[in-house]
Structure 1
């Protein structure tokens, strides 16, 4: 059966991608696979330094709980309208998504997120990784225009810049 694979973190961008993926799954009569990638504390180097199986099991358990929260936030009591499969994968987000969507018949949906220069330097783009490495089509969902306005309001509040009432009229 065809699959629509989407990454989920709970951010507004990933929730937008999740809703778009659900719509694509309905249109394509495909299964919706929601993937949450997780890493052990300290990344792969940290897991080599003596983290026991109990710590890794606890990390996986937290990831499963987080995936349930994300799905509950996205769909609530409603259903996505497609067969839903939740999957937690140990690894980096880009690699986890590409490995899950390995069939050419799959569709991989990712959010593009808002990417400032500092954020691009600290954390590479998952969307770019998926576009470069996926064996299937990739749909990149842009952030909501409302998210850009919200980010601007947060920046204005952080820097204590007063709101110009003329901005509200436009």
Structure 2
């Protein structure tokens, strides 16, 4: 395995994100690379609201919930983390687009993001993580549209392999 080669994938926990996860796993296999699934989270109401009334115990709960969503995404898509790959999951506090660009900071990284299903109004009201990454990433970005019928497997009791990073 090439130590410098990484495939980073943004994980949202949505069913539509399964196509991006499958593409990232396939690319990590093909490149003999480390798979780095990343889930970003922010406190409910955003950072500004949290700063007015910080609560570290709640912050830990929200971080744990994000880690659980990351684990659940892999459980649904693959039955757990692929055993044949080196997987280094990351939970990071911050907005998804900037967090992914920060982590995918090497020219030989591959960043995989889902495009999601958005109509004109939703696109106008919510910033696109994929568009942010394509415009600002230092590496190649692959934007994967959601598949029509993702093959999902539900497996309970998967052990977490998540690493947390403070933003």
* Common fold: TM-score over 0.5: yes
Larger helix fraction of residues: 1
Provide the secondary structure at the position in 2 that maps to 1:84.
coil
Between the two proteins, the alignment pairs up a number of residues equal to 147
The answer as to 2:70 corresponding to 1:70 is: no
The answer as to 2:140 corresponding to 1:137 is: yes
**Match in the other structure for 1:104:** 107
The answer as to 2:91 corresponding to 1:93 is: no
Cα distance in 1 between the residues matched to 2:31 and 2:46: 36
**Match in the other structure for 2:154:** none
CA deviation digits over 1:62-93, x for unaligned, max 9? 11111111111111057264211111111111
Cα distance in 2 between the residues matched to 1:87 and 1:120: 27
CA deviation digits over 1:30-71, x for unaligned, max 9? 000000110012111112111221111111111111111111
TM-score by length of 2: 0.82
Provide the secondary structure at the position in 2 that maps to 1:10.
coil
Cα distance in 2 between the residues matched to 1:109 and 1:121: 23
**Match in the other structure for 2:129:** 126
Q: Structure 1: where are the runs of 5+ without partners?
A: 148-170
Contact 1:22–1:81 under 8 Å retained in 2? no
Which has more radius of gyration? 1
Q: Residue 98 and residue 72 in structure 1: after superposition, are their counterparts in 2 closer, same or farther (change >3 A)?
A: same
TM-score by length of 1: 0.81
RMSD: 1.6
Provide the secondary structure at the position in 1 that maps to 2:88.
strand
Which structure exhibits the higher relative contact order, with contacts defined as CA atoms closer than 8 Å and separated by 6 or more residues? 2
**Match in the other structure for 1:167:** none
Cα distance in 2 between the residues matched to 1:65 and 1:142: 24
| Matching of residues 32-43 of structure 1 within 5 Å | 32-43=35-46
Q: Is the deviation greater in 69-78 or in 47-56? A: 69-78
Q: Is the deviation greater in 40-49 or in 21-30? A: 40-49
Q: Residue 57 and residue 77 in structure 1: after superposition, are their counterparts in 2 closer, same or farther (change >3 A)?
A: closer
CA deviation digits over 1:74-129, x for unaligned, max 9? 11057264211111111111111111111111000011111101211221111100
